[in-house]
């Protein structure tokens, strides 16, 4: 089965968790798009809270009611993809540059479910370069301070500015992204704290202690993984 089919299966399984009347956080990326399409097809009376402009446009185009974070009562369930799923459902997210809005929505949700294809499961986080969202003003200076924070966690690399078509990628919030190719992050909580201590770092892509269930698409169907 292709990775895309595994993503579709996991998105469809997550759509089955949604009940009428729910407020639902809508993730970003290709797996989350399968979830949004499967959810829209159920035609439930729900309100979606998108984690990016792209997801908001997709949901609206499928006739889904959407609202901004903070315009509804508490979010019942958020479903979103991930770039890596490690032990205890620690995640790397932000490959689609939506990590800040994603984390805001995740943290405002009663329950978060991560969906992915099987290749996203890893024994140790860090092969996928960790996205770090940084205020555009003075970002090179901030990057130098991020290098110090990384070295304090025994990670001796310099993150790379994410560029597309010759220009820095800007997030929905107007910030830039640095990708830190750590290779291995044995202590994600330590790194998360070190990054958050750098002024100018808006958010990082480590999502720790947030997902309560992973629905992973495999060749044998959808596997449920708990922390």
Instruction: Enumerate the active-site residues.
Output: 102
- The reply on whether position 55 binds ligand 5RP by CB under 6 A is no
Does the protein bind ligand 5RP through residue 25 (CB under 6 A)?
A: no
Q: For residue 43, how far is the Cα from the chain centroid?
A: 25
Closest C-alpha to 116, from 88, 97, 91, 133: 91
Tokens of 197: 């201590």
Q: Is 12 in the site for ligand 5RP (CB under 6 A)?
A: no
- CA 62 – CA 85 distance, rounded (Å): 29
Structure tokens at 12: 């469809």
Q: Which residues contact 144 (CB under 8 A, 6 or more apart)?
A: none
Report DSSP letters for 89-108, one per residue: G-EE--TTS-HHHHHHHHHT
Which range binds ligand 5RP by CB under 6 A, 18-26, 29-37, 55-63, 189-197?
29-37
Stretch touching ligand 5RP by CB under 6 A, among 24-32, 67-75, 166-174, 217-225: 24-32
- Give the whole-angstrom CA distance, residue 52 versus residue 28: 6
125 to 164: interface string for ligand 5RP, x by CB under 6 A: ----------------------------------------
Given candidates 76, 83, 179, 203, which one binds ligand 5RP under the rule CB under 6 A?
83
98 binds ligand 5RP (CB under 6 A): yes
Tokens standing for 7?
């993503």
Encoded tokens for 30? 């290709």
Regarding 27 and contact with ligand 5RP (CB under 6 A), the answer is: yes
The binder of ligand 5RP chosen from 48, 94, 126, 188 (CB under 6 A): 94
Instruction: Work out whether 180 is an interface residue with ligand 5RP (CB under 6 A).
Output: no
Question: CA 208: distance to chain centroid?
Answer: 11
Strand 112-117 with 213-218, pairing = parallel
28 in contact with ligand 5RP (CB under 6 A) = yes
Does position 80 bind ligand 5RP by CB under 6 A?
yes
Q: Site residues (CB under 6 A) for ligand 5RP? A: 27-32, 80-83, 93-99, 102
């Amino acid at each position: 089965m292709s990775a895309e089919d595994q993503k579709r299966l996991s998105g469809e399984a997550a759509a089955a968790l949604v009940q009428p009347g729910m407020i639902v956080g809508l993730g970003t990326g290709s797996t989350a798009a399968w979830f949004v399409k499967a959810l829209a097809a159920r035609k439930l009376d729900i309100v979606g809270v998108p984690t990016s402009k792209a997801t908001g446009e997709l949901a609206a185009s499928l006739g889904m009611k959407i609202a901004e974070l903070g315009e509804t009562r508490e979010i019942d369930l958020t479903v979103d993809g991930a770039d890596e799923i490690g032990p205890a459902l620690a995640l790397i997210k932000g490959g689609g540059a939506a990590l800040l809005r994603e984390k805001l929505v995740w943290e405002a949700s009663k329950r978060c479910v991560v969906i992915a294809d099987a290749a996203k499961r890893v024994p140790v986080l860090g092969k996928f370069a960790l996205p770090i969202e940084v205020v555009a003003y003075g970002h090179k200076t901030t990057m130098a301070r991020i290098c110090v924070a990384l070295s304090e966690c025994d990670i001796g690399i310099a993150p790379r500015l994410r560029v597309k078509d010759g220009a820095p990628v800007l997030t929905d919030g107007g910030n830039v992204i640095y990708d830190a190719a750590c290779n291995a992050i044995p202590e994600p909580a330590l790194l998360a704290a070190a990054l958050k201590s750098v002024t100018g770092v808006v958010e990082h892509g480590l999502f720790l202690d947030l997902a309560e269930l992973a629905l992973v698409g495999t060749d044998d169907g959808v596997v449920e993984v708990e922390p």
